[in-house]
Amino acid sequence: MVFINDITLSFRNLNISNLFDIASLDNVINDFANKINNAWEKLSKIINIMRHSKSWWNENCNRDLVNYRLLKNLEDWKTFQRMVKNTKSDFFNLKIQEIANKRCGPWCYGNH
C-alpha cells in the first residue's frame, strides 16, 4: 500500500506546466519512471533462498497469500492455510517416497 501511495503522490506532483514539445514530455515521463523505480527500490527486499528456506513453498502459496493480504478476508485466510497444508503434505510425502525408494536396495520393485 505504501508503494501505491508513493506513486500516487509522485504522479500528483509531476510538473506538467511546461509541456510544449515531445522532448519536454519525455523529460516528465522519465522523471516519473525514476520516481516509480525509486519507490520500488525503497520498499522492495531481496529474498535469498538459503538452506533453511521453505523448499515446499510454491506459486500457489504466493497467490493465495496475496489474495488474503488484499482484503484480509477470513475465507481467503482459510484457503491460504489449506494450500500451505496441502503443499507441505505433497512435498514431504514425495520426499519420503524418494528416500524410501533410494534406500530400499536392489530388491525393490522396478530396480531389477
16-42 pLDDT, tens per residue? 888 899 999 999 999 999 988 888 888
Range of the domain at 73: 59-103
| Residue in this structure with the C-alpha cell 522519465, named with its chain if needed | 30
**85: in domain:** yes
> What average pLDDT score do residues 74-101 get?
91
**28: in domain:** no
**29: in domain:** no
Q: Write down the pLDDT at residue 46.
A: 61
**89: in domain:** yes
For 8-22, 36-50, 82-96, which range has the lowest pLDDT when averaged over its residues? 36-50
**10: in domain:** no
Between CA 44 and CA 62 the distance in angstroms is 16
> What average pLDDT score do residues 85-89 get?
93
Number of domains in the chain: 1
CA distances (Å), origin 103, targets 14, 62, 96, 108: 65, 34, 11, 9
pTM of the model: 0.46
**88: in domain:** yes
**52: in domain:** no
